[in-house]
Amino acid sequence: MSRILIVYYSRKGENYWNGSIKNLSRGNTEIVAEMISELTGGDLFEVDTVKSYASDYYTCIDEAKKELREGARPELKQYMDNLDGYDTIFVGYPNWWGTMPMAMFTFLEHYDLNGKRILPFCTNEGSGMGGSERDLKQICKGAKVENGLSIHGAEAAGSRGKVETWVRKFV
Ligand SMILES: Cc1cc2nc3c(=O)[nH]c(=O)nc-3n(C[C@H](O)[C@H](O)[C@H](O)COP(=O)(O)O)c2cc1C
């Protein structure tokens, strides 16, 4: 039987949260990723970079902007050996400057995603999915990228109903 994978990037530390800066012990995207795992029984995999981003929010947004401009592919701490056996892959990330953090590009470009179904979900402070679905379609060659779910980051913990309605369209 095909298994379900939930792969996500989420940054703990200072973040912009409902109009002010808040120190998050659990990332917003991580909260939603865990909900999807509970709802589907899917396996969770957290993408993490070798070099951490600054905990300070304003320094981090500068670091992320530079990476986006340069088309960086930050080195990751670890990969899954392969994605065999997973036909359905939920891909979760915060909106960083209008798309996914570059670390998600590093991760996804590492694999052959031909024939996989990609279900994107994105937490953000108002920009929605940004251009992330377009970018996913470009890098996940041969995969079917479905319409994603946008969640306001500050409401991640209270979004279970919305998340479940979306998940049930596919699983
Ligand atoms: C580097 C950086 C860039 C961001 N850029 C945007 C943005 O362009 N649009 C937006 O709505 N939110 C933006 N945000 C806010 C995050 O998308 C939002 O707080 C998200 O829920 C964080 O998820 P996480 O806790 O899983 O990392 C940005 C946050 C950071 C740290």
pLDDT at position 13: 83
Residue 104 has pLDDT above 60, yes or no: yes
Predicted TM-score (pTM) of this structure: 0.96
C-alpha of residue 137 to centroid of ligand 1, in Å: 21
Report which ligand 1 atom has the smallest distance to the Cα of 123: 21
The string of pLDDT tens digits covering residues 59-68 is: 999 999 999 9
Q: Domain holding 40: CATH number?
A: 3.40.50.360
CB 100 within 8 A of CB 29: no
User: What's the pLDDT band for 103 if we cut at 50, 70, 90?
Assistant: very high
Tokens of 150: 């946008």
- Taking the centre of ligand 1 as the mean of its atom positions, its distance from the CA of residue 68, in whole angstroms, is 14
Determine which residue's CA is closest to atom 6 belonging to ligand 1: 96
- pLDDT, tens digit, 9 for 90 and up, residues 31-81: 999 999 999 999 999 999 999 999 889 999 999 999 999 999 999 999 999
The residue-averaged pLDDT of 20-34 equals: 92
Contacts of residue 21, defined as CB under 8 A and 6 or more positions apart, other chains included, come to: 14, 15, 57
Q: What is the mean pLDDT of the chain?
A: 96
Tokens standing for 119? 């279900």
165 CA → ligand 1 middle, Å? 23
| CA 156 – CA 8 distance, rounded (Å) | 14
Residue 99 pairs with which residues in a beta bridge? 96
Residue 147 amino acid letter? N
Which residues form the pocket of ligand 1, taking CB atoms under 6 Å from any ligand atom?
10-11, 15-16, 24, 27-30, 60-61, 64, 94-98, 123-127, 153
Q: How far apart are CA 159 and CA 68, in angstroms?
A: 29
2 pLDDT above the threshold of 80: no
Q: What share of the chain is helix, strand, coil (3-state, %, to 5)?
A: 35, 25, 40
**Residue span of the structural domain in which 149 resides:** 3-167
Q: Please count the structural domains in the chain.
A: 1
